[in-house]
Amino acid sequence: MIGKALSGWRPAGLIAYLMGPGAHEEHRNPHIVASWDGSPGLHQPPKAGPGEFDFDLRALIGSMSELPKEFGLPLDNPAASPDDLPGAEEWTQWLRTSGKKRPPAHAPEWVKYYRWDPKAEAVVLKPGYVWHCPVRLHPDDPTLTDAQWQRIAQRLMEATGIHQSGCRWVAVRHADDHIHLMATLVTDKGGSLRRFYPRNDWYRLRKACRELERELGLVPTPEADWTATRRPTRQEIGKAARHGRAEPARTELRRLVAQAAAAAGGPEDFFARLREFQVVWRPSYAADGEIRGCSYVLADDRTAEGEQVPFSGGKLGRDLTWPKLMQRWASTPAAEPVERTEDGRSTADARLDVLEEAAEVVNEAAERIRSGDEDPAGITHATADVLGALALGTEYRDRGPITAAFDRFDRAARIPGRVLPRDHGLSGRALRRASRRIAAAGSISGRGQEKFALAALVLALAGLVAEIRAWQQHAGRPHQAAAARRTAAVLPVDRVAANNAAARSATRSPRLADRLDRTTARPARPARRHHPGARPPR
């Protein structure tokens, strides 16, 4: 169960949407299931015609707007920008320098509805008094009754403190799997009108939702781990559809930056990869001249005014900020160069060696997770680099099955509370080195002997992902485990070709065997296997 709190300024507009057919005519049988006074039936709008959505909304709008109107708040949306309002130039400057001061008595009425946003470097509209929270079930949850939804709505409104404050609120149901909570945050409790500001409502909603999931036997949602990548906004998704893009620019850009980071050994390699991907980067510098951050732009992603749309590394992924990238590159020694022909391409034998070496490293990493010889967190994070580099070599910017596996593994690699592992570990560093060598090998054709070596590597990756899934499940992280399962499901495993590769791997050259021994060597110590009742390796 997921709830997301929003805010606005127009009670009538929100009520009309909730009781209407919806943006895509997806609403069915809209009705009120809960209210602030415990009598939702009294607030159900009467029918005004034969249609499913022909309601007389005047009484409901009047009840929800009564206190805000008495308090002097606008019942319609204020202008998004005050540029055309009286005294805009003078009072915009005042908002910029006043901090959190209250406007003086002689200030225009509109001033109290705006604030200065230092990030946007502009005057923006404050959050409105119309509080709105959709609450949605997981697709695998059963259909709940109106009485159950009433109980859920009451608990959530009490958790936020809105119910106790005396604010008016209702819960509207117009689908089987979700309701909408709506409140106007003005109260007359205590004998005088005042605004009410919920504190930490997002956190309190999340906590109450998890409690209700346990009580009602619903599918549990994961705890907030502060490592998730930001999803594309509704506007970004709509823009991609209008321009015929296969996916939003944010999603494509995150993948390209992550793949460039996995393939690079430092800033110079990283920027060279971005240039190859036609990604524009904009570094920012500290006082000492060192890079302190970087934003990225797809060359063909522009606004309606023709301006480029930049995304900082942190907005693409928590592990893609500049300090995290530098930390990642510093944790792994430089990879050995790949043998090349006179025209600069990698040789066929070199590509075979790289693929076979990577398969051995991946198999070794899976064994170290099974035996408990190494913290799986470092291996898990480095596995994403191998998937990203392999997708780059086999599919480049086409969205094939390995690219799909790379995208799905993002969730599986998350460790709550940690963006990067505390210790990358021996196998983790070996996996990162392997990812750089795969990227250095260039395009992998998947023909001839390469087909068999590639199949062996994909099979090894499927085995490693299975071990990661078991570890995440045992550590009490079912959602990461489910993401690992989805990753393994899309990997193009060819067991016949992988078996054919085993014979060649057994007779590989002494040079390759020596490099593998140095890459994956581990200290001699007895294996520490853990059983289902034991604490997972840390």
How far apart (Å, rounded) are the C-alpha atoms in residues 188 and 166? 7
The predicted pLDDT at position 501 comes to 59
Determine, yes or no, domain membership for 7. yes
The predicted pLDDT at position 503 comes to 53
The residue out of 298, 330, 362 marking a domain boundary is 330
Domain match, 325 and 440 both: no
**Quick one: which of 320, 358, 501 has its CA closest to 436?**
358
Determine, yes or no, domain membership for 222. no
186-187 and 194-195 strand pairing: antiparallel
The predicted pLDDT at position 502 comes to 60
Domain match, 286 and 361 both: no
Which pair of structure tokens corresponds to residue 453? 């070596």
The predicted pLDDT at position 237 comes to 92
How far apart (Å, rounded) are the C-alpha atoms in residues 124 and 30? 34
Q: For the chain, 538 residues long, give each residue's pLDDT as a single digit of tens.
A: 888 899 999 999 999 999 999 887 889 999 999 999 999 999 999 999 999 999 999 999 999 999 999 999 999 999 888 888 888 889 989 998 888 888 998 999 999 999 988 877 889 999 999 999 999 999 999 999 999 999 999 999 999 999 999 999 999 999 999 999 999 999 998 889 999 999 989 889 999 999 999 999 998 887 766 677 788 888 899 999 999 998 999 999 999 999 999 999 999 999 999 999 999 999 999 888 899 999 999 988 988 888 899 999 999 998 999 999 999 898 887 888 888 888 888 888 888 899 999 999 999 999 999 999 898 999 999 999 999 999 999 988 888 999 999 999 999 998 887 888 888 889 999 999 999 999 999 888 777 788 899 999 999 999 999 999 999 999 888 889 999 999 999 999 887 766 665 655 555 544 444 544 444 444 333 333 343 334 333 3
Domain match, 119 and 162 both: no
The residue out of 183, 216, 249 marking a domain boundary is 216
Domain match, 326 and 354 both: no
**Cross-strand bridge partners of residue 172:** 32, 180
The predicted pLDDT at position 506 comes to 52
Domain match, 437 and 498 both: yes
Q: Which domain, by its residues, includes 164? A: 2-72+129-216
Determine, yes or no, domain membership for 226. no
Determine, yes or no, domain membership for 227. no
Determine, yes or no, domain membership for 528. no
Determine, yes or no, domain membership for 302. yes
pLDDT 10s digits, 449-473: 888 999 999 999 999 999 999 999 9
Torsions phi, psi of 47, nearest 5? -75, 145
Residue 79 is classified by DSSP as P
| Whether the Cβ atoms of residue 350 and residue 341 lie closer than 8 Å to each other | no
The predicted pLDDT at position 25 comes to 82
Domain match, 198 and 303 both: no
Amino acid in position 468: I
pLDDT 10s digits, 330-383: 888 788 888 888 888 888 888 889 999 999 999 999 999 999 989 899 999 999
Domain match, 135 and 185 both: yes
pTM of the predicted structure, to 2 decimals = 0.71
The count of domains in the chain is 4
The residue out of 181, 216, 251 marking a domain boundary is 216
Cβ neighbors of 3 (< 8 A, separation 6 or more) are 133, 134, 135, 136, 156, 181, 205, 206, 209
The predicted pLDDT at position 217 comes to 93
Domain match, 290 and 314 both: yes
Q: What is the CATH number of the domain that holds 189?
A: 3.30.930
How far apart (Å, rounded) are the C-alpha atoms in residues 160 and 205? 7
How far apart (Å, rounded) are the C-alpha atoms in residues 167 and 505? 71
The predicted pLDDT at position 88 comes to 87
Domain match, 152 and 256 both: no
Domain match, 116 and 147 both: no
Residue 294 host element (H or E): strand 291-298
Domain match, 114 and 172 both: no
How far apart (Å, rounded) are the C-alpha atoms in residues 474 and 471? 5
| Whether the Cβ atoms of residue 485 and residue 454 lie closer than 8 Å to each other | no
Determine, yes or no, domain membership for 388. yes
Domain match, 377 and 489 both: yes
Determine, yes or no, domain membership for 337. no
